Amino acid sequence: MTHIVVVTGAHGPEDVPGIDKLPPEIEVRYVASDDEVGAAMAGADIVFGWGFKFAMAQRAWRAGDGLRWVHWCGAGIDSLMADDLIESDVVLTNSRGTVSHEMAEFTLGLVVAFAKRLPAILKDQSRHVWKHEFNQRLRGCSVLVIGVGSIGREISRLLGAIGLEVDGMGRSRRESDPDFRKIYAIGELDTHLPYYDYVVVMAPSTPETYRLFGAKQFALMKSTARIINLARGVIVDESALIDALNRGEIAGAGLDVFETEPLPADSPLWNMDNVIVSPHVSGEFEGYMMVVVDLFVENVKRYMRGDPLINLIDKKVGFFPGGG
């Protein structure tokens, strides 16, 4: 039986490295513009959402009468979760786990940069200024990772390996866990925020996590604490964050995601000495696209055999069922 895969957001195989590894029974069609979607979806049963073109992937599943499965190229699927997809029989998978270690490395880099004053040191270097100041000792510092899926767990393992004390926060409280000292329920956030030196936001974007961090939460944090957000910009109230930084309620922020992307040129965050801004690149590394395609190819083989798919999303809750 021939299966038809529509790759949205790509002109051809040159845009999707490794797609040639698909079994020969698979017919692949590429869609690079909205007006190509309708014709491409005729008879198609699989959509591979490529290039983070959310709107195009949405048009594709709506145009496909025989569509059975959508695979997304990233981990975050919040922008895909329209009511018609949620209520449909279409299966949804994502690329969870393909960048977990790399995002943990990025988190480690931000923590080290803050603790060892690297932004200030680099600024002084550019001005030829010799300024001697103490830095922070990381061993024994406390970290709260909000979101205990594959990325959050990898962050905990990596930070724990250099001596930080890492707790997690997920949907439910767990007194013991192989990767965290303990896991608190998300409803306990305000109770525990005052005790951590670093707070890492790695939760999925859901109605429950929208603006989870606001003025109240920043006021509860240590004045020496830093927040790191690699998840979604909408989880943190940006205006409240800027106010908290200006008032000294927290010591700094490492931000890879923002409420509006690209971050507007007039955002105060660009010019704050205690903020590190990165352009949503924490999970992107040389060769990562090939890793994402390899996962999709493996899932296609499973699909053809009738085996369970990797990273099957619970559409009702909006994320991988075992990851929170």
Tens digit of pLDDT per residue, the chain (324 long)? 789 999 999 999 999 999 999 999 999 999 999 999 999 999 999 999 999 998 999 999 899 889 999 999 998 888 888 888 889 999 999 999 999 999 999 999 999 999 999 999 999 999 999 999 999 999 999 999 999 999 999 999 999 999 999 999 999 999 999 999 999 999 999 999 999 999 999 999 989 999 999 999 999 999 999 999 999 999 999 999 999 999 999 999 999 999 999 999 999 999 999 999 999 999 999 999 999 999 999 999 999 999 999 999 998 886 666 555
For residue 155, CA distances in Å to 149, 200, 311 come to 10, 9, 19
CATH of the domain at 195: 3.40.50.720
Domain range for 50: 3-98+286-305
Whether residues 60 and 120 fall in one domain? no
Catalytic annotation present for 280 = yes
Q: Looking at the domain assignment, is residue 219 inside a domain?
A: yes
Catalytic annotation present for 232 = yes
pLDDT at position 169 is: 98
- The number of distinct structural domains making up the chain is 2
pLDDT at position 324 is: 53
Whether residues 110 and 91 fall in one domain? no
Whether residues 160 and 135 fall in one domain? yes
Q: Looking at the domain assignment, is residue 182 inside a domain?
A: yes
Whether residues 117 and 14 fall in one domain? no
Q: Looking at the domain assignment, is residue 206 inside a domain?
A: yes
Whether residues 12 and 111 fall in one domain? no
Q: Which of 188, 261, 284, 298 is catalytic?
A: 261
Q: Which of 68, 171, 280, 302 is catalytic?
A: 280
Whether residues 125 and 154 fall in one domain? yes
pLDDT at position 323 is: 52
Q: Looking at the domain assignment, is residue 191 inside a domain?
A: yes
Catalytic annotation present for 3 = no
Whether residues 90 and 107 fall in one domain? no
Whether residues 132 and 265 fall in one domain? yes
pLDDT at position 156 is: 98
Q: Which of 154, 232, 238, 249 is catalytic?
A: 232
Whether residues 249 and 294 fall in one domain? no
Which ranges in the chain belong to alpha helices (H)?
A: 37-40, 54-63, 83-87, 100-115, 118-126, 150-161, 189-192, 215-220, 238-247, 288-305
